[in-house]
Amino acid sequence: MKKILFSILILYCALTACDKKNCPTEGEGYVFELPVNLSPAKDTFAIGDTITIISQFSNSVYEQKTEQNYLLEDFLFYPILEMTRIDTFPSSFSIEDFFDVILIPSSSYSLQTFSDNSQVLLGQYSNQGNSYIIEYQLVTKTSGLFILRQGHDLSKTPEQDFDGKCKNQGIDVVAILNGGGDNNIHMLLDSPDPHFNEWILIDPDFRFHDVGGYCFYVR
Protein backbone atom coordinates (compact mmCIF):
# COMPACT_ATOMS: atom_id res chain seq x y z
CA MET A 1 0.00 0.00 0.00
CA LYS A 2 2.84 2.39 0.88
CA LYS A 3 4.51 1.64 -2.46
CA ILE A 4 1.28 2.50 -4.30
CA LEU A 5 0.86 5.78 -2.40
CA PHE A 6 4.52 6.63 -3.00
CA SER A 7 4.13 5.97 -6.73
CA ILE A 8 1.01 8.18 -6.88
CA LEU A 9 2.88 10.95 -5.05
CA ILE A 10 5.79 10.79 -7.50
CA LEU A 11 3.39 10.85 -10.44
CA TYR A 12 1.55 13.86 -8.99
CA CYS A 13 4.79 15.76 -8.41
CA ALA A 14 5.97 14.99 -11.92
CA LEU A 15 2.72 16.22 -13.43
CA THR A 16 2.77 19.33 -11.27
CA ALA A 17 6.35 20.13 -12.26
CA CYS A 18 5.44 19.63 -15.90
CA ASP A 19 2.52 22.04 -15.57
CA LYS A 20 4.68 24.69 -13.90
CA LYS A 21 7.02 24.70 -16.88
CA ASN A 22 4.16 26.16 -18.95
CA CYS A 23 3.00 28.62 -16.30
CA PRO A 24 4.04 32.27 -16.01
CA THR A 25 6.42 33.22 -13.23
CA GLU A 26 4.55 33.17 -9.95
CA GLY A 27 2.83 36.49 -9.24
CA GLU A 28 3.14 37.81 -12.79
CA GLY A 29 0.31 35.98 -14.53
CA TYR A 30 -0.38 35.89 -18.26
CA VAL A 31 0.33 38.94 -20.41
CA PHE A 32 -1.18 38.76 -23.90
CA GLU A 33 0.00 40.97 -26.76
CA LEU A 34 -2.62 42.63 -28.95
CA PRO A 35 -1.46 44.47 -32.10
CA VAL A 36 -2.78 47.95 -32.83
CA ASN A 37 -2.13 49.89 -36.01
CA LEU A 38 -2.40 53.69 -36.29
CA SER A 39 -2.16 55.18 -39.77
CA PRO A 40 -0.83 57.31 -41.19
CA ALA A 41 1.97 57.17 -38.61
CA LYS A 42 2.86 60.88 -38.66
CA ASP A 43 4.16 63.17 -35.95
CA THR A 44 2.15 66.15 -37.25
CA PHE A 45 -1.33 66.24 -38.79
CA ALA A 46 -3.28 69.05 -40.40
CA ILE A 47 -6.80 70.03 -39.41
CA GLY A 48 -9.19 67.84 -41.40
CA ASP A 49 -6.85 64.82 -41.57
CA THR A 50 -8.24 61.37 -40.79
CA ILE A 51 -6.44 59.01 -38.41
CA THR A 52 -7.41 55.33 -38.65
CA ILE A 53 -6.91 52.92 -35.76
CA ILE A 54 -7.34 49.17 -36.31
CA SER A 55 -6.67 46.30 -33.96
CA GLN A 56 -7.12 42.93 -35.65
CA PHE A 57 -5.67 39.55 -34.69
CA SER A 58 -6.46 35.85 -34.73
CA ASN A 59 -7.89 34.05 -31.71
CA SER A 60 -4.49 32.36 -31.26
CA VAL A 61 -2.88 35.09 -29.15
CA TYR A 62 0.79 35.38 -28.14
CA GLU A 63 1.59 35.43 -24.41
CA GLN A 64 4.79 37.12 -23.20
CA LYS A 65 5.71 35.11 -20.10
CA THR A 66 5.37 31.60 -21.54
CA GLU A 67 6.36 32.74 -25.06
CA GLN A 68 3.60 30.71 -26.68
CA ASN A 69 0.19 31.19 -28.25
CA TYR A 70 -3.12 30.34 -26.59
CA LEU A 71 -6.52 29.90 -28.16
CA LEU A 72 -8.77 32.64 -26.76
CA GLU A 73 -12.31 32.01 -27.96
CA ASP A 74 -15.16 34.42 -27.10
CA PHE A 75 -12.74 36.33 -24.91
CA LEU A 76 -13.57 39.77 -23.48
CA PHE A 77 -10.66 42.23 -23.70
CA TYR A 78 -12.49 45.46 -22.76
CA PRO A 79 -10.61 47.84 -25.09
CA ILE A 80 -10.67 51.51 -24.07
CA LEU A 81 -9.50 54.57 -26.00
CA GLU A 82 -8.33 57.70 -24.23
CA MET A 83 -7.53 60.78 -26.30
CA THR A 84 -6.06 63.72 -24.41
CA ARG A 85 -4.92 67.21 -25.34
CA ILE A 86 -1.74 67.71 -23.32
CA ASP A 87 -0.42 71.15 -24.34
CA THR A 88 -2.64 72.78 -21.72
CA PHE A 89 -2.63 72.50 -17.95
CA PRO A 90 -4.77 70.90 -16.79
CA SER A 91 -5.00 68.58 -19.78
CA SER A 92 -8.33 68.03 -21.53
CA PHE A 93 -9.93 64.57 -21.92
CA SER A 94 -12.94 65.59 -24.05
CA ILE A 95 -12.51 63.75 -27.37
CA GLU A 96 -15.31 65.52 -29.27
CA ASP A 97 -13.83 68.96 -28.58
CA PHE A 98 -10.88 68.09 -30.80
CA PHE A 99 -11.94 65.22 -33.11
CA ASP A 100 -14.90 63.96 -35.06
CA VAL A 101 -15.24 60.28 -34.18
CA ILE A 102 -16.19 57.79 -36.92
CA LEU A 103 -17.20 54.40 -35.53
CA ILE A 104 -17.04 51.51 -37.98
CA PRO A 105 -20.37 49.58 -37.83
CA SER A 106 -18.65 46.22 -37.34
CA SER A 107 -17.00 47.48 -34.13
CA SER A 108 -19.02 47.57 -30.94
CA TYR A 109 -17.40 50.77 -29.68
CA SER A 110 -19.34 53.72 -28.26
CA LEU A 111 -18.45 57.15 -26.91
CA GLN A 112 -18.91 57.50 -23.15
CA THR A 113 -19.10 60.91 -21.43
CA PHE A 114 -18.56 61.22 -17.68
CA SER A 115 -19.73 63.83 -15.19
CA ASP A 116 -16.48 65.83 -15.52
CA ASN A 117 -16.99 65.96 -19.33
CA SER A 118 -14.08 63.60 -19.96
CA GLN A 119 -14.72 61.06 -22.71
CA VAL A 120 -13.51 57.62 -23.75
CA LEU A 121 -14.43 55.02 -26.33
CA LEU A 122 -15.56 51.75 -24.74
CA GLY A 123 -16.80 48.43 -26.08
CA GLN A 124 -15.62 45.03 -27.21
CA TYR A 125 -13.85 43.54 -30.19
CA SER A 126 -16.09 42.11 -32.86
CA ASN A 127 -15.52 38.37 -33.11
CA GLN A 128 -15.36 37.43 -36.78
CA GLY A 129 -14.89 33.68 -37.01
CA ASN A 130 -11.35 33.02 -35.90
CA SER A 131 -10.32 36.65 -35.45
CA TYR A 132 -11.03 39.77 -33.43
CA ILE A 133 -11.29 43.30 -34.81
CA ILE A 134 -12.02 46.82 -33.67
CA GLU A 135 -11.72 49.86 -35.92
CA TYR A 136 -12.47 53.57 -35.70
CA GLN A 137 -11.35 56.87 -37.19
CA LEU A 138 -10.59 60.30 -35.76
CA VAL A 139 -10.87 63.44 -37.90
CA THR A 140 -8.79 66.30 -36.55
CA LYS A 141 -10.58 69.63 -36.06
CA THR A 142 -8.45 71.58 -33.53
CA SER A 143 -4.73 72.26 -33.29
CA GLY A 144 -2.75 71.08 -30.30
CA LEU A 145 -0.53 68.34 -28.85
CA PHE A 146 -2.30 65.04 -28.19
CA ILE A 147 -1.71 61.60 -26.73
CA LEU A 148 -3.75 58.59 -27.83
CA ARG A 149 -3.87 55.53 -25.60
CA GLN A 150 -5.53 52.32 -26.77
CA GLY A 151 -5.57 50.28 -23.58
CA HIS A 152 -7.59 47.42 -22.10
CA ASP A 153 -9.34 46.82 -18.79
CA LEU A 154 -9.47 43.12 -17.97
CA SER A 155 -10.15 43.87 -14.30
CA LYS A 156 -13.87 43.62 -15.11
CA THR A 157 -13.63 39.87 -15.75
CA PRO A 158 -10.33 38.57 -14.32
CA GLU A 159 -11.78 35.07 -13.90
CA GLN A 160 -11.90 34.33 -17.65
CA ASP A 161 -10.58 30.92 -18.60
CA PHE A 162 -8.93 29.38 -21.65
CA ASP A 163 -7.51 26.00 -22.62
CA GLY A 164 -4.16 25.39 -20.91
CA LYS A 165 -4.57 28.13 -18.30
CA CYS A 166 -2.77 27.44 -15.02
CA LYS A 167 -4.77 27.85 -11.84
CA ASN A 168 -4.52 31.01 -9.72
CA GLN A 169 -2.86 33.00 -12.50
CA GLY A 170 -4.06 36.47 -13.45
CA ILE A 171 -4.53 37.78 -16.99
CA ASP A 172 -3.35 41.08 -18.44
CA VAL A 173 -3.06 42.60 -21.90
CA VAL A 174 -0.57 44.96 -23.54
CA ALA A 175 -1.18 46.86 -26.77
CA ILE A 176 1.68 46.71 -29.28
CA LEU A 177 1.09 49.85 -31.33
CA ASN A 178 2.66 50.06 -34.80
CA GLY A 179 4.95 47.13 -34.06
CA GLY A 180 6.35 48.61 -30.86
CA GLY A 181 8.05 51.79 -32.13
CA ASP A 182 8.80 54.82 -29.95
CA ASN A 183 5.51 56.39 -31.12
CA ASN A 184 6.78 59.94 -30.50
CA ILE A 185 7.09 59.50 -26.74
CA HIS A 186 9.60 62.38 -26.65
CA MET A 187 6.71 64.78 -27.30
CA LEU A 188 5.52 64.22 -23.72
CA LEU A 189 8.31 66.60 -22.70
CA ASP A 190 6.48 69.38 -24.56
CA SER A 191 3.49 69.11 -22.22
CA PRO A 192 3.22 71.51 -19.23
CA ASP A 193 1.34 68.81 -17.30
CA PRO A 194 3.67 66.90 -14.90
CA HIS A 195 1.49 63.81 -15.28
CA PHE A 196 2.75 63.56 -18.87
CA ASN A 197 6.18 65.22 -18.82
CA GLU A 198 7.31 63.47 -15.61
CA TRP A 199 5.09 60.70 -14.24
CA ILE A 200 4.65 58.66 -17.43
CA LEU A 201 8.36 58.90 -18.22
CA ILE A 202 9.30 57.34 -14.89
CA ASP A 203 7.97 54.01 -16.21
CA PRO A 204 7.44 54.51 -19.96
CA ASP A 205 6.92 50.84 -20.82
CA PHE A 206 4.07 50.33 -18.36
CA ARG A 207 2.52 53.81 -18.58
CA PHE A 208 2.92 54.51 -22.31
CA HIS A 209 3.96 51.65 -24.56
CA ASP A 210 1.91 48.86 -22.91
CA VAL A 211 -1.27 50.94 -23.24
CA GLY A 212 -0.73 51.75 -26.91
CA GLY A 213 0.52 55.30 -26.41
CA TYR A 214 1.03 57.59 -29.42
CA CYS A 215 1.80 61.34 -29.39
CA PHE A 216 1.27 63.78 -32.23
CA TYR A 217 0.67 67.42 -33.09
CA VAL A 218 -2.22 68.89 -35.03
CA ARG A 219 -1.27 72.21 -36.68
Does residue 12 fall inside a structural domain? no
109 falls within a domain: yes
Rounded-to-integer distance, Cα 104 and Cα 132, Å: 14
Please tell me the chain's helix, strand, coil percentages from 3-state DSSP, rounded to the nearest 5.
20, 40, 35
What is the DSSP secondary structure assignment for residue 92, as one 8-state letter?
Answer: B
Decide if 10 is inside a domain: no
CB–CB of 130/73 below 8 Å?
Answer: no
Count other Cβ atoms within 10 Å, centred on residue 43: 12
Structural domain harbouring 158 = 29-218
Compute the distance between CA of residue 121 and CA of residue 104 in angstroms, rounded to an integer.
12
**Chain centroid to CA 64:** 14
Which residue ranges in the chain fall short of pLDDT 50?
Answer: 2-19
Distance CA 2, CA 23 (A): 31
For residue range 172-190, list pLDDT tens digits in order.
999 999 999 999 999 999 9
Q: What integer pLDDT is reported at residue 25 of this predicted model?
A: 63
Is position 73 within any domain? yes
Residue 79 has what pLDDT?
Answer: 93
120: in domain: yes
At 10 the pLDDT is: 41
pLDDT at 81: 94
Tell me how long the chain is. Answer: 219
Domain count, the chain: 1
The β-bridge partners of 102 are 137
Q: Does a structural domain hold residue 24?
A: no
The pLDDT of residue 80: 94
Task: Assess if residue 9 is contained within a domain.
Answer: no
pTM of the model: 0.86
In a domain, 202, yes or no: yes
